[in-house]
């Protein structure tokens, strides 16, 4: 039983910078001028830039940033035949950066995401908030109506079991967006001028057994806890579906986090999403997924991993077998995706032998 005297909310203050144990992963096809706005917050960190599209194109990075850049030729050279599991002409290529990183934590951000401002007009240091989220426990087993009880000024409410107040380790911090919302193509088409102006000052743990649509444009995670499951699937060039890369990863990591007793947080921090993508192009990418997800979601809701699966890799391999068995009847794509999931784990373990199961 937890001592009630030791359950007062503990703020992480000041927030550690974690500059030596955190990489920032950015997928891009263009010059990274947007980093100038982020310089006060991101310059101390190492960047891993995954260049999509034409590998002969030169990507300009502002001076003063420490980075390594990988294009498709590099991915093919490093992974050989296993490079087939990394998507091309799609932001899903970012997961290659997760694989080659050697740091404990990852923050990934899109190149059309700018620094947001809170209601007082202060610039939001998104990475600082992600670090706070990851370093504080999650509470997936029992919902706290004051949201994150570990934030300064909050605590566990009356009726919250003391036996659960220690929480569990946080594996994922999922941030949100001001301005352009992360809508699917049909919603974009019927609400072309809608903008998100609501800044909700809250962080909450997504309850165990609840799935969520993960967005990869403002995301941080503990690579050592959940990294091998952060595979963004087969999307883009040569595939029948796009714009489901981050959501696929989110469904996978959530069922694995639930199985392994890890937490996923959502809410703060906000970024300013500057550019709306073309809804007609998006619809072409999404339309099969819009139908397929009506079967995919029940599949994930019913996933039960075995007690023998005690590592992320073991969970992921089990999940890949379930995908092949249960989803291949929807479309042959899922047979191919299940094989790519196995290839991804094999490639991850080759580049990260210390994490091998």
Buried-state track 219-248, b at ≥16 Cβ within 10 A, e below 16: bbbbbbbbbbbbbbbbbbeebebbbbbbbb
pTM score: 0.94
| Average pLDDT for 91-99 | 97
Which two three-digit tokens encode residue 290?
A: 């819009």
In a domain, 49, yes or no: yes
221-275, pLDDT tens digit by residue?
999 999 999 999 999 999 999 999 999 999 999 999 999 999 999 999 999 999 9
**What confidence score (pLDDT) does residue 15 get?**
84
**Alpha carbons within 13 A on the beta-carbon side of 78:** 18
**Alpha carbons within 13 A on the beta-carbon side of 45:** 27
**C-alpha span between 273 and 195 (Å, rounded):** 10
In a domain, 11, yes or no: no
In a domain, 16, yes or no: no
Range of the domain at 297: 22-351
In a domain, 48, yes or no: yes
Preceding omega of 168 cis (within 30 degrees of 0): no
**Burial category of 50 from C-beta neighbours within 10 Å (exposed 0-12, middle 13-18, buried 19 and up):** buried
User: With contact defined as beta carbons under 8 Å apart, do 269 and 130 qualify?
Assistant: yes
**C-alpha span between 142 and 8 (Å, rounded):** 17
End-to-end CA distance of the chain: 32
The H or E element containing residue 335 is: helix 333-351
**C-alpha span between 199 and 106 (Å, rounded):** 24
70-89, pLDDT tens digit by residue?
999 999 999 999 999 999 99
In a domain, 5, yes or no: no
**C-alpha span between 88 and 166 (Å, rounded):** 42
Residue 11 has pLDDT above 60, yes or no: no
Which two three-digit tokens encode residue 66?
A: 């420490």
289-330, pLDDT tens digit by residue?
999 999 999 999 999 999 999 999 999 999 999 999 999 999
**C-alpha span between 251 and 241 (Å, rounded):** 16
**C-alpha span between 143 and 156 (Å, rounded):** 10
Mean pLDDT is lowest, of 7-16, 68-77, 92-101, 140-149, for 7-16
**C-alpha span between 46 and 106 (Å, rounded):** 10
* Number of neighbours of residue 202 by Cβ within 10 angstroms: 14
Split into its structural domains, the chain has a count of: 1
Residue 7 has pLDDT above 90, yes or no: no
Residue 104 has pLDDT above 80, yes or no: yes
The H or E element containing residue 109 is: strand 105-109
In a domain, 9, yes or no: no
Buried-state track 111-146, b at ≥16 Cβ within 10 A, e below 16: bbbbbbeeeeeeebbbbbbbbbbbbbbbbbbbebee
In a domain, 2, yes or no: no
- Name which of 129, 103, 97 is nearest 116 in CA terms: 129
CATH of the domain at 297: 3.90.550
In a domain, 221, yes or no: yes
Separate counts of helices (H) and strands (E) for the chain: 10, 9
């Amino acid at each position: 039983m937890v001592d009630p005297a030791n359950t007062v909310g503990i703020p992480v203050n000041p927030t550690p910078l974690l500059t030596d144990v955190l990489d920032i992963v950015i997928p891009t096809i263009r010059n990274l001028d947007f980093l100038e706005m982020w310089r006060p917050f991101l310059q101390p960190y190492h960047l891993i830039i995954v260049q999509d599209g034409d590998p002969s194109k030169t990507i300009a990075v502002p001076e003063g940033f420490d980075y390594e850049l990988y294009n498709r030729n590099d991915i093919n050279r490093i992974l050989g035949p296993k490079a087939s599991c990394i998507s091309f002409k799609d932001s899903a290529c970012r997961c290659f950066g997760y694989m080659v990183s050697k740091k404990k934590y990852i923050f990934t951000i899109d190149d059309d995401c700018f620094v947001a401002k809170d209601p007082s007009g202060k610039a939001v240091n998104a990475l600082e908030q992600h670090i706070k989220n990851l370093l504080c426990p999650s509470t997936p087993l029992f919902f706290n109506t004051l949201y994150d009880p570990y934030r300064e000024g909050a605590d566990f409410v009356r009726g919250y079991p003391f036996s659960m107040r220690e929480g569990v380790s946080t594996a994922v911090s999922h941030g949100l967006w001001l301005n352009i919302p992360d809508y699917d193509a049909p919603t974009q088409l019927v609400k072309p001028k809608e903008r998100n102006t609501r800044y909700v000052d809250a962080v909450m743990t997504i309850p165990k057994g609840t799935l969520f649509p993960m967005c990869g444009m403002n995301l941080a995670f503990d690579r050592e806890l959940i990294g091998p499951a952060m595979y963004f699937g087969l999307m883009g060039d040569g595939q029948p579906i796009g714009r489901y890369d981050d959501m696929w990863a989110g469904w996978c990591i959530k069922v694995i986090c639930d199985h392994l007793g890890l937490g996923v947080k959502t809410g703060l921090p906000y970024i300013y999403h500057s550019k709306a993508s073309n809804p007609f192009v998006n619809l072409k990418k999404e339309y099969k997924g819009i139908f397929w997800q009506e079967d995919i979601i029940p599949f994930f809701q019913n996933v039960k991993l075995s007690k023998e699966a005690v590592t992320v890799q073991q969970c992921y391999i089990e999940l890949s077998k379930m995908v092949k068995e249960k989803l291949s009847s929807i479309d042959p794509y899922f047979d191919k995706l299940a094989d790519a999931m196995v290839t991804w784990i094999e490639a991850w373990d080759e580049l990260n032998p210390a994490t091998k199961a």
